[in-house]
Amino acid sequence: MPRIALLQLTADPAPAVNIQKTEEAIRKAAAGGAQIICTQELFTTEYFCITQDTDNFDLADPIPGELTESHQALAKELGVVIVASGFEKRATGLYHNTAWVVDSDGTYLGSYRKSHIPQDPGFEEKFYFTPGDTGYKCFHTAFGKIGVLICWDQWYPEAARITALKGAEILIYPTAIGWLPEEKKLPSGNTTLGEAQHNAWQSVMCGHAVANGCYVCAINRVGTEGETEFWGQSFVSNHYGQVVDIASVHDETILYHDIDLKALEDHRRIWPFFRDRRIDTYAPITERFLD
């Protein structure tokens, strides 16, 4: 059973500090027995999408490049798979929110560019990111078949389904999500809007785990940046949609979980959702809206 580690960290204004801090966390996770180690979304920076500022484009890195090469060396040294997420400069005026996967022998397996780009107050991502054009991917690593999707992608069952259909056993979602103060305490039925938002976030991904017979791992950051309070609570869901491990709301955490791929295989044999799909009936899903 491969052990996965989710690195839930705060972010510093200086990218060099975040890169060093994350490397130290990767080393600690490997020492803790982790074989697949995952960062939060845009791990090299604070969440700069709070505002629209052209100077923030200076934070982007070429991918592959120096950053991914350092992960190749680190993965080979430690014998671990690294899944990381950063800000990609593809060309001047062309930027992506991108994740990459490095295998345990240091092989760069490739990248995935975030497909769904949100635009909300405090989440000004359309200003920075071009929608991804890599398609959905499954990365065959030494410790399992991994699909990587990023934050806003996590709300879309189509993205999870296609990634699982490509063979993914584990869906990994690097994330940066939190509460705005004016929203968090608003009443929402029998709870608050903040609690309702978190419940929706967790529930939709647990649903992806059930519908696709796979593990789901979400890695969020913690701390307050600007007015956004990132809500942490990185978690692992098994193929029944059960949250089997979860981190705290506020604290930096390395969250470990042992992934039982044999149990997943057995589960897919008796819950054969892929077998029973009626692909002849699904053509309308590619339409924008059905009038």
Q: 164: domain CATH number?
A: 3.60.110.10
Is residue 202 a part of any domain in this protein?
yes
* Cross-strand pairs, 95: 89
Q: Catalytic annotation on 41?
A: yes
The pLDDT tens digits for 131-177 are 999 999 999 999 999 999 999 999 999 999 999 999 999 999 999 99
Is residue 101 a part of any domain in this protein?
yes
Is residue 283 a part of any domain in this protein?
no
> In 209-223, which positions are buried (b, 16+ CB within 10 angstroms) versus exposed (e)?
bbbbbbbbbbbbbbb
Among the listed residues 138, 151, 214, 217, the single catalytic one is: 151
pLDDT at residue 232 in the model: 97
Is residue 214 a part of any domain in this protein?
yes
- Domains held by the chain: number: 1
Structure tokens at 274: 């892929």
Among the listed residues 41, 124, 125, 229, the single catalytic one is: 41
Is residue 194 a part of any domain in this protein?
yes
Nearest to 47 by CA among 15, 2, 84: 15
Q: Catalytic annotation on 124?
A: no
Is residue 228 a part of any domain in this protein?
yes
> For the chain, first and last CA: distance in Å?
48
Is residue 291 a part of any domain in this protein?
no
Residue 263 and residue 6 in contact, taking contact as beta carbons nearer than 8 Å: no
pLDDT at residue 58 in the model: 97
- The parent domain of residue 192 ranges over 3-269
pLDDT at residue 195 in the model: 92
Is residue 278 a part of any domain in this protein?
no
Q: Which residues of the chain have pLDDT under 70?
A: none
Q: Catalytic annotation on 138?
A: no
